[in-house]
Chain A
Amino acid sequence: MLSSVEDYVEKKRKRLKLLILTALFSLVPVFWLSLYLGSSGPLPMWRWHLDDPIFQLRIYRTLTAFFSAASLALNGLLLQNLLANPLIDSSILGISSGSTLGMLTGYIISAKLGLYIAPIVSLIFSLATMMLVYGLSKMGGFRILVVALSGVMVSTMLTSISYLLILVNPAISKGGVALVLGSLGYSDTWSVYLSLASFSVVAGHQMLRVGNIRKILLGEDLARASGINVERIRKESLIVSSLSISLVTLSVGPIGFIGLIIPHISRIAVGGDPGACSITSTLWGPVLLICADIVSRVAFMPSELPVGITMSIIGAPFFLFLLIKSMRR
């Protein structure tokens, strides 16, 4: 039995180092494969220069996948820590679906007005969904299953409305249904910028507030006694997360479960500290999403699967596993 605190700290430090190194080492072959493989077949190395259109697309795609996965994993971790609930992420809470619906509504309004306002509408929808889910959770006393369930219902409702909008306006966006499922297939320079912005927002917030979040996790009264304005930090975090999720949704659509799986595995590996988990999530999220994207591209060549579907096939059973685990307690 391990009881010495020093042993524990030493062990966790080693684990964290190991996880960072293995993630960095896996990212190299994963990046390489993501550039090499694709729905249009393997790209021979002599075509690997930036003038080649396919190579260019795969670079955008891989970078978008990297930043959006890091952002989704960090947002999942942030939401789980804020609501003290290991069963949630941006997609389960419905924030991603809210942003998607906002984005589609934004496209329609933008087309009518002749003025591009989709990002703003998406952000508004994202914030509104966050407020709705937070309100519902508060009514349910923040019980783990109630929060997850109300989020799933909000998500289902908003996704259905998104499908309805696409059915009525087929020309709504280049992505169509794939965009509602979450896809990396439409990546361009803008997707890279948007996902990078999304990642920067949530990572910056995590860097600045990790000390406060660590204390809030231990208990609100304790955090307040140590001089933290819990309500302000919580509000700020929810707003930052809404903004970040709406940016990543504009980039790749509502890809789910990255924010559920990665923080969970991080916690098993390095313990529950939000600081350590945010580092491992930032690195392991991209490994998972890029792998899932490679599978999505090559499984049904020459056509490709939206990566959102692949992630749901992996993620939903994982959610069920966590659900069963939490019901046993």
Chain B
Amino acid sequence: MPEVVLRGSIGYSFPLYRNLHIELRSGYLYCVLGPNGSGKSTLLKTLSGSIPVFEGSLEKIPHDSASSYLPPDPPELPGMRGGDAALSFLATNEKRLLYGNWRSEQSLERLVRYIEEFSSPVDLEKYFNELSTGERMKILLASALASEADFLFLDEPSGHLDVRSRILLYRILKREKESRLIVLSMHELSEASSACDKGILLGAGNFYGPSDIGSILNEDLLSLAYGARFKKVLIDGKPLLVPYDIKE
């Protein structure tokens, strides 16, 4: 069961949040919420190992398992076709010169399945930078899901996706969360409420969580973090938080 433990401070050139002790494990879908610039990406990148822990330690269990970090905006990849972008994702870091470099036939089969399930109308022969941002994101998401990474850190994965694709994405993530650790960041509070199990809320210098999404989606906490006013609406017993005004 993939698990990650972060102790210490996070930040690039100065500590953004200090004395953290976060334990995340598979079985839950985690989301990181917070206003722009509050450090959502910094947290995700630190957890993925893309940037070092500012001060402290990061422990991954199992420690030799791969992590994947997907940025909010897909890269341009000039000259590359959609299919090659997807296949590069599955390739291991080893020195394999040719196609067939994915770790197992299994992950290729999974890629086929995810591309079909999640992004069927995407043309893999098209140049990657001629696809729309949403289509590029779908290809990368499908490849990240098909890869053998046990740790997936997805930075605003739904940002460029249409409504139907978002629902499909969360459906896949809910299925995948049992066997891998998945952490997302997002701006949509309603999506966090309906899709995620646990949340981390950043903002105004405070770090809340990880705790149950219900307790994170609290009007007072949110209004403190975001500087906006929220109304709570119950739909099918689930709380939806609707922002309606800024806090003066």
Interface residues of A (CB under 8 A from B): 1-6, 8-9, 12-13, 16, 80, 84-86, 144, 206-212, 214-215, 217-219, 221-222, 224-228, 264, 267, 271-273, 275-276, 278-279, 326, 329
Contact = CB atoms under 8 A, between A and B. Distances in A.
Interface stretch (B110-118, B211-219, B228-236, B240-248): B110-118
B79 A5 contact: no
Contacts of B71: 219, 221-222
B48 interface: yes
Contacts of B132: none
A267 B49 contact: no
A3 B88 contact: no
B80 A217 contact: yes
B108 A3 contact: no
Given A211-B101, A271-B83, A227 B49 contact: yes
B3 to A, nearest CB: 17
Interface of B: 45, 48-51, 66-71, 75-81, 83-89, 91-99, 101, 108, 111-112, 115-116, 120-125, 128-129, 149, 153
A210 B112 contact: no
Query: Chain A at the B interface: mostly helix, strand, loop or mixed?
Result: helix
Contacts of B85: 218, 272
A1 B123 contact: yes
A208 B95 contact: yes
A227 B97 contact: no
B124 A8 contact: yes
A145 to B, nearest CB: 12
A5 B88 contact: no
29 contacts: A1-B123, A2-B125, A3-B115, A3-B120, A3-B123, A4-B116, A5-B86, A6-B108, A8-B87, A9-B87, A13-B99, A16-B99, A206-B97, A210-B96, A211-B93, A211-B94, A218-B85, A218-B88, A221-B50, A222-B71, A225-B50, A225-B68, A271-B80, A271-B84, A272-B84, A273-B80, A273-B99, A275-B97, A326-B78
A43 to B, nearest CB: 38
B127 to A, nearest CB: 9
Contacts of B80: 217, 267, 271-273
Contact of A226 (B93, B97, B108, B129): B93
